[in-house]
Chains A and B, each alone.
Chain A
Amino acid sequence: MASVISIRNLGKTYQMGDIAVHALRSVSLEIEQGEFVSVVGPSGSGKSTLMHILGCLDQPTKGEYFLNGRNVSDLSDDEVSRVRNQQIGFVFQGFNLLTRTSALENVELPLLYNPGKEISSGERHRRAMDALAAVGLKGREHHHPNQLSGGQQQRVAIARALLNHPTLLLADEPTGNLDSRTSIEVMNIFQKLKEERGITIVLITHEHEVAAYGSRIVTCRDGSILSDLPTESRRLAHGELAEMQVPTGDMA
């Protein structure tokens, strides 16, 4: 299987005044298509920096990063924006929806910044509606983020992340602001995406229970990778939800 992510000797050093902070020392990692990789580690372990670089939100100070076989570690702003738009979907802890903007408009955003040919507003509308329906938010398209629960907001964010059919879904503490039941619901969506669409997922978390939903766990510490192992007892969100024996709400 082709590597979606291939990083070699990746390093990131921040200059804080006179002191050089080595957020990432020298990291090498290969992630195949369709993998669900959890990256765990305490604060300051470098997992967030790794996530920024993997998401093309930041650029490494050394080493190389190949995304779908293309070196993206030194691209122009336009090119890197295109990569973010087309190949990467983001899901964040704080949901990062635009405030005072309807769920529908939030989901439409990636299409608006689509660098290819113009997508008509009718088409954008239709695709965003479909995406919202797919995460079980039919009928809430015109709600603003503050009218939605945390779980619903996160599902809007997921719908937005998936709209341009990215190959890579990056999730940064996606359950950090959610209760345990909603967290499981979100993990259920992730696992279904991996199974049904073969999307590569990289999940950043500091909770080992959450990391256990992934198929492989990468542990970071002090800017280096400490261990990289398959998950021993993988959790399956679908089964857990069924066991809870309560209506799954509006989850599809």
Chain B
Amino acid sequence: MRLENSWLLAIKALKKNKLQTLLTMTGMTIGVATVLIMIALGSGAQTAIQDQVRSAGMNLIVVKAGNYAAKQDKPADEAIEYSAFHPRKRHGSLLSAVYSPSRGAHLMRVFHPEDDPMAIHDHPVARQRLGDSEAGLGAAATLTLGDADEIRKMDGVQYVSEGIHENAHVAAGNTRWFTRMHGSDVSQPLIRRSWTFSHGRYFDKGEQKKSENVMVLGQIVSQKLFGDANPVGKTVTIWNQSFKVVGEITSTNWMVQPAAGDDQFDAIYMPVTTVQKLLNLSKLNDITITTKSTGDVTPVSKAVTKLLRVRHQITNTSPDDFTVTSEARKALQGGGMRPDVSAAVTGNVSGLEKVTLSQLGKTLDRASETMTALLTSIAAVSLLVGGIGIMNIMLLSVSQRAKEIGIRRAIGARSRDVLTQFILEAVTLSLAGGLAGVAIGALVSNFISGILKWSTTISLPAVMISFGVSAAIGIFFGYYPARQAAAVLPIQSLKQE
């Protein structure tokens, strides 16, 4: 007999005893739902912990233009721009002692490039322009949109946001407020995981591409300019230019409350391209990078340094013209260690912060894995109970239906036809119960995450495992009763009821 016919028989048999079927299924449903909810809660907790690690900035790398730490005894050879001598331009020229490897020490007239404010600088390498003033130059303009795009393509990089920061007067009508202006990438809200939008949204890719005059307000700025009203759609002016407000951000983290002057919520956000246009800039102040995992921080930091040195044409003997910092490195350096010692440690023991971070991450992961395992094993017990319920009912069913089995055998059913039918009945029970369990589990998980604000994840593997386990339980607990059924002799059909 074909399997589909056996299945039809099994379903018909189950339909004949609806209440019994329903109750047995309920046992299975509860089991599967519990497993699913427990897995969801466990992995939800795991995600929550990882989120917290990330929102603590553990996977954050910031590349700043300029290098405060670089120490130089003398300007690099190529640092100074030797300007052509212009006899007519007497002013501004000066006689200096200059050393150059080719000519030795000599006197010549030079311009320092920064001396002439009207000079047009067209140098491929920032250091040529910066000259001997490069060390510790915070406003150094060494990072470009191109640098950021190259970093985006690197392995292990999650999000990249270009940054330009300036102070600005913002105005709405007669209300004015002096605040921080940030140019950023659309991915900024994903990097700042503790942000939430109290109104509207962040600017989008299209707006960034076209450098449109759009703006997202921090909650403090929004309050100062518009009170408690929804600022979305309103207009804010900066230097007589109008910007449309598209959103308002606030904090989700109770530890970080918006406050005046906090640089995050007392701030406005615009596409980096818009800010470049507004300020007539082509460079960036910094690039913020997040890595996919905390363990990627060190390799990505190194790769970024290497990439930027190549892109900025920095020779082996010269220091970086940018500074790569990670929260992890900062945490290590801020630990009361003497700066030179910590510099030596972080400089010489490569990947030290990775060790501590990955250890921290592993410890947290292990803790939540243990929790998930515990919850799942509790749930597995209820699944086992469901399975035993099925076995119990199937055994009862075999003895109740001995005559029916006998009739089928007398008519020509082989003992394996009977075996198949009973196994399929058990599997149908457990699968239908399991399916209902998946639905209920998903609903309850959603409910829990909605009410308790506890993130739960129903993953496809979890659903598939629950389903597979219920089928396996059906076969496992259905096999013995089915064997009993198959062993019923055809002569049973002749017994009187």
A55–B494 CA distance with the chains assembled, in angstroms: 11
**Are A57 and B490 neighbours in the complex by a CB distance under 8 Å?**
yes
Q: Look across to chain B and name the residue whose beta carbon is closest to the beta carbon of A124.
A: B5
Q: Which chain A residues border B412 with CB–CB below 8 Å?
A: 81-82, 84-86, 110, 113-115, 164
Residues of A within 8 A of B1 (CB): 112-113
Whole-angstrom distance between the alpha carbons of A52 and B1 in the complex?
Answer: 25
Return chain B residues, CB-CB under 8 Å to A57.
409-410, 489-491, 493-494
Q: Give every chain A residue within 8 A of B407 (Cβ-Cβ).
A: 96-98
Residue of A nearest to B2 (CB): A118
Given A98-B407, A100-B16, A112-B5, does the pair A77, B493 have CB atoms closer than 8 Å?
A: no
Contact B410 A90 (CB under 8 A): yes
Query: Across the interface, do A160 and B414 meet the contact criterion of CB distance under 8 Å?
Result: no
Contact A81 B415 (CB under 8 A): yes
A78 on the B face (CB < 8 A): yes
B122 within 8 A of A: no
- Nearest to B495 among chain A residues (CB) is A94
Q: How many A-B residue pairs have CB under 8 A?
A: 76
Neighbouring A residues of B9 by C-beta, 8 Å: 112
Looking at A85, A94, A96, A101, the one whose CB has the most chain B CB atoms below 10 A away is A96
B392-416 vs A, CB cutoff 8 Å, 1 = contact: the mask equals 0000000000011001111111111
- Which interface residue of A92, A98, A160 has the most chain B CB atoms within 10 A? A98
CA distance A82 to B412 in the complex (A): 6
Fill in one digit per residue for B221-245: 1 if any A CB lies within 8 Å of its CB, else 0. Answer: 0000000000000000000000000
Task: Assess whether B73 is interfacial by the CB under 8 Å rule.
Answer: no
Complex: how many Å from CA A105 to CA B494? 20
Residue of A nearest to B16 (CB): A100
A84 pairs with B411, CB closer than 8 A: yes
- Counting chain A CB atoms within 10 Å of each CB, the highest count among B409, B494, B496 belongs to B494
A114 to B413, CA, bound (A): 8
Q: Is the CB of B497 closer than 8 A to any CB of chain A?
A: yes
Residue-wise interface mask of B (103-127) relative to A, using a CB-CB cutoff of 8 A (1 in contact, 0 not): 0000000000000000000000000
Cα–Cα, bound, A164→B410 (Å): 13
The reply to whether the CB of B207 lies closer than 8 angstroms to some CB of chain A is no
> Would A78 and B414 be within 8 Å (CB), given that A52-B494, A84-B490 are in contact?
yes
Q: Which residues of A contact B81 (CB under 8 A)?
A: none
CB of B496 within 8 A of CB of A94, answer yes
Bound-state CA distance A105–B417 (Å) is 17
Most A CB atoms within 10 A — which of B408, B412, B490? Answer: B412
Binary flags per residue of B1-43, CB closer than 8 Å to A gives 1, else 0:
1100100010010001000000000000000000000000000
Which residues of the other chain, B, contact A114 by a CB distance below 8 angstroms? 412
Chain B residues, Cβ within 8 Å of A77 = 414-415
A 192-210 binary contact with B (CB < 8 Å = 1; else 0): 0000000000000000000
Report the minimum CB–CB distance from A94 to chain B (whole Å): 6
> Contact between A113 and B410 (Cβ–Cβ < 8 Å)?
no
Is A109 in contact with chain B by the CB < 8 A criterion? yes
Q: Are A84 and B410 in contact (CB under 8 A)?
A: yes
**Considering only CB atoms, which chain B residue lies closest to A172 in the complex?**
B494
| Known pairs A57-B491, A81-B409, A92-B493 / 20 extra A-B pairs, C-beta < 8 Å | A58-B490, A77-B414, A77-B415, A81-B413, A81-B417, A82-B412, A84-B409, A84-B490, A85-B412, A92-B494, A94-B497, A96-B403, A97-B407, A101-B12, A109-B411, A110-B411, A112-B1, A113-B411, A113-B417, A115-B414
13 contacts between A and B (CB under 8 A): A55-B410, A78-B414, A81-B414, A85-B411, A85-B412, A90-B493, A92-B494, A96-B493, A105-B12, A113-B408, A113-B413, A113-B417, A118-B2
Q: Lowest 8 CB-CB distances: which A-B pairs, in order?
A: A85-B412, A113-B412, A81-B414, A57-B490, A113-B413, A57-B491, A84-B412, A100-B16
